[in-house]
């Protein structure tokens, strides 16, 4: 049996084996999500409230972490162990051994706090016995408020409520330290302790194994550092500064009201990218945050009724925003119950049905003061239905910006290489102003000589009309047969699927799946992010359109079937099976097969 037959055997056998009614089968499998330990930290502010890209880049980062601690409590054991873990993970902490401690913290220590990305407060029994520690804490909390410094709290053998209310042994120690201090001084300390006690942190009483706790803290800090660094990936994006400046008044970050903001524009214009930049820059300033990408493709499943569909979406939403992969919900009141007092940042990307907003963000009062809900959609009616008036319409780039986008992908710079000026301008004109098309065309011409550009232009001129799909198909046509074949597999089955699973599925069909995935990524036909394969909706549409045109009137003569009606037709009428079809996708982005299919087991296996 050849690999194609094996592919259809696996697909259909699984479908028939698990479901009598095909309407509930989904070809794709969800990515497994890692389980997190029961004690984790929220993400305190790590960026300033300004979106202007970005003021934080102007700051000098000298240290990854600034630890604040009472030496006699933690220096020889907990602190030394966590510093070893920092060293193992490549995290650079501030070391205060060479600073002479006096009655108050000096300029050198204040500078160290301000030049650190994260501050970690090790609150121990005798922490409040040191006026130095309390002044240090007050400065850290001030930087948290003014500069967006990320602050983590570790309650080491001390109860958070004792820290907040200044009771127990912690409170007794604090009162002794306050003796002889001014009312203003004591007030600053009290406020700082009250604020740090409200940070969702790490409680040593929750851990049986201190080593595991230390590893968890260091891992979380490493992840925070990785996430903060990733935002710089967007700094070179053409036109992004202007997008963010226009979004700033709509977001109104200084206001405590709950705001819903729409980002509106056609597919391929850059809505998701803008939302991702905003999310990366601001997520650290919220108690909880979530980016729900490609909602229609990744989270909407065929359900028997509208309520079940909403319940399913809300469960996905709550699982992600709370980082709890095994969460189960039984009613639609969970969001408001859990989040009404939380300041959250939510991005709902690719919303195309009002039901999706009803499930995850129907009302502003579902969320706590200062929350921001960002929705991207091609459909302006979605915003009107939900009375969302703060809408940013993403315009096409200017001619100069369009040329810059093309050149970024073609030459690795924002202007044409010497001698390519006229060629680049013509390709930009032919490709139109849609950023996706410019990116794909730039990637196609990357590395070509001037002679090769000149040779390709006539084909590009002849293939184009006003439809962007013609532009994208030009790059598809330039692939070799095997890469075209893989492109069609991804378009029909595997967009938003994990790389590992795709490589496993197609190991017998392609000699080197990993290499060919990288080829498609280099051509900007797919992106490989965080272990997943993502293909833009327009490219998915292109791939499925190519398959459909293999046989317009005879679906059974195509390689793949993805349309519910045509699948019913082929499976019901073609009892002997089709020798052309090698794969069937029973998941249709919300559509489902509504009729029962009375088909013998093994119809495609004969």
Number of H helices, E strands in the chain: 26, 14
Paired with 150 in beta bridges are: 118
Catalytic residues: 136
Q: Where are the alpha helices (DSSP H) in 183-239?
A: 183-197, 210-230
Cβ 65 vs Cβ 92: under 8 Å = yes
As a whole number of angstroms, the distance between CA 100 and CA 533 comes to 53
CB environment 278-295: b (16+ within 10 A), e (fewer): bbbbbbbbbbbbbbbbbb
- Pairing state between β 532-534 and 527-529: antiparallel
Residue 248 neighbours by CB under 8 Å, 6+ apart: 50, 51, 52
As a whole number of angstroms, the distance between CA 458 and CA 423 comes to 12
Query: Does the CA dihedral 565-567-570-573 come out positive or negative?
Result: negative
Helix (H) or strand (E) holding 116: strand 116-123
CA 437 to chain centre: 23
As a whole number of angstroms, the distance between CA 174 and CA 554 comes to 82
Let me know if 222 is exposed, middle or buried by CB neighbors in 10 A (0-12, 13-18, 19+).
middle
Let me know if 44 is exposed, middle or buried by CB neighbors in 10 A (0-12, 13-18, 19+).
buried
Three-state SS at 181: coil
Backbone φ, ψ for residue 63 (5° rounding) = -130, 150
Residue 463 neighbours by CB under 8 Å, 6+ apart: 470, 473, 474, 477
């Amino acid at each position: 049996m050849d690999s194609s037959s094996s592919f259809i055997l696996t697909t259909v056998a699984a479908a028939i084996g698990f479901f009598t009614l095909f309407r509930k089968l989904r070809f794709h499998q969800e990515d497994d999500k890692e389980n997190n330990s029961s004690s984790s930290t929220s993400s305190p502010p790590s960026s300033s409230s300004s979106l202007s890209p970005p003021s934080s880049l102007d700051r000098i980062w000298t240290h990854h972490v600034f630890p604040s601690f009472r030496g006699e409590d933690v220096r020889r054991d907990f602190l030394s162990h966590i510093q070893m873990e920092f060293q193992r993970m490549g995290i650079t902490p501030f070391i205060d051994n060479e600073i002479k401690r006096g009655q108050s913290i000096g300029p050198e220590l204040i500078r160290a706090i301000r030049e650190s990305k994260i501050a970690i407060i090790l609150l121990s029994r005798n922490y409040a016995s040191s006026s130095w520690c309390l002044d240090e804490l007050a400065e850290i909390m001030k930087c948290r408020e003014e500069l967006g410094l990320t602050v983590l709290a570790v309650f080491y053998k001390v109860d958070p409520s004792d820290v907040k209310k200044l009771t127990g042994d912690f409170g007794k120690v604090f009162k002794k330290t306050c003796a002889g201090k001014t009312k203003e001084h004591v007030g600053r300390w009290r406020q700082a302790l009250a604020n740090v006690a409200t940070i969702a942190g790490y409680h040593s009483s929750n851990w049986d194994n201190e080593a595991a706790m230390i590893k968890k803290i260091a891992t979380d800090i490493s992840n925070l550092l990785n996430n903060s660094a990733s935002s710089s990936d967007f700094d070179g994006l053409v036109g992004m500064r202007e997008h963010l400046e226009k979004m700033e008044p709509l977001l109104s970050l200084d206001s405590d009201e709950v705001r819903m903001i729409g980002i509106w524009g056609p597919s391929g214009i850059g809505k998701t990218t803008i939302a991702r930049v905003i999310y990366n820059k601001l997520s650290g300033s919220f108690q909880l945050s979530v980016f729900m990408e490609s909602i229609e493709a990744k989270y909407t499943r065929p359900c028997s009724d509208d309520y079940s569909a909403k319940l399913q979406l809300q469960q996905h939403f709550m699982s992600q925003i709370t980082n709890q992969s095994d969460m189960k919900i039984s009613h639609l009141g969970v969001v408001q119950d859990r989040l009404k007092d939380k300041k959250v940042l939510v991005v709902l990307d690719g919303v195309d049905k009002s039901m999706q907003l009803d499930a995850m963000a129907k009302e502003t009062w579902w969320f706590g003061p200062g929350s921001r809900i960002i929705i991207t959609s091609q459909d302006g009616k979605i915003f009107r239905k939900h009375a969302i008036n703060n809408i940013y319409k993403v315009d096409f780039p200017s001619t100069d910006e369009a040329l810059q986008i093309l050149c970024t992908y073609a030459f690795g710079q924002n202007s044409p290489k010497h001698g390519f000026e006229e060629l680049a301008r013509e390709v930009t004109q032919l490709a139109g102003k849609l950023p996706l098309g410019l990116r794909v065309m730039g990637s196609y011409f990357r590395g070509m000589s001037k002679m090769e550009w000149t040779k390709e232009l006539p084909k590009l001129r002849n293939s184009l009309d006003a439809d962007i799909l013609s532009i994208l198909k030009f790059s598809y046509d330039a692939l070799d047969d095997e890469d075209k074949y893989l492109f069609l597999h991804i378009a029909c089955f595997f967009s938003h699927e994990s790389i590992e699973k795709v490589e496993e599925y197609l190991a017998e069909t392609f000699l080197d799946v990993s290499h060919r995935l990288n080829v498609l990524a280099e051509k900007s036909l797919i992106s490989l992010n965080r272990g997943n394969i993502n293909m833009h909706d327009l490219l998915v549409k292109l791939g499925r359109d190519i398959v459909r045109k293999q046989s317009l009137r005879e679906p059974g003569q195509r390689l793949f079937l993805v349309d519910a009606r045509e699948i019913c037709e082929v499976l019901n009428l073609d009892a002997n099976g089709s020798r052309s079809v090698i794969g069937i996708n029973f998941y249709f982005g919300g559509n489902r097969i509504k009729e029962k299919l009375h088909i013998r087991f093994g119809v495609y296996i004969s």
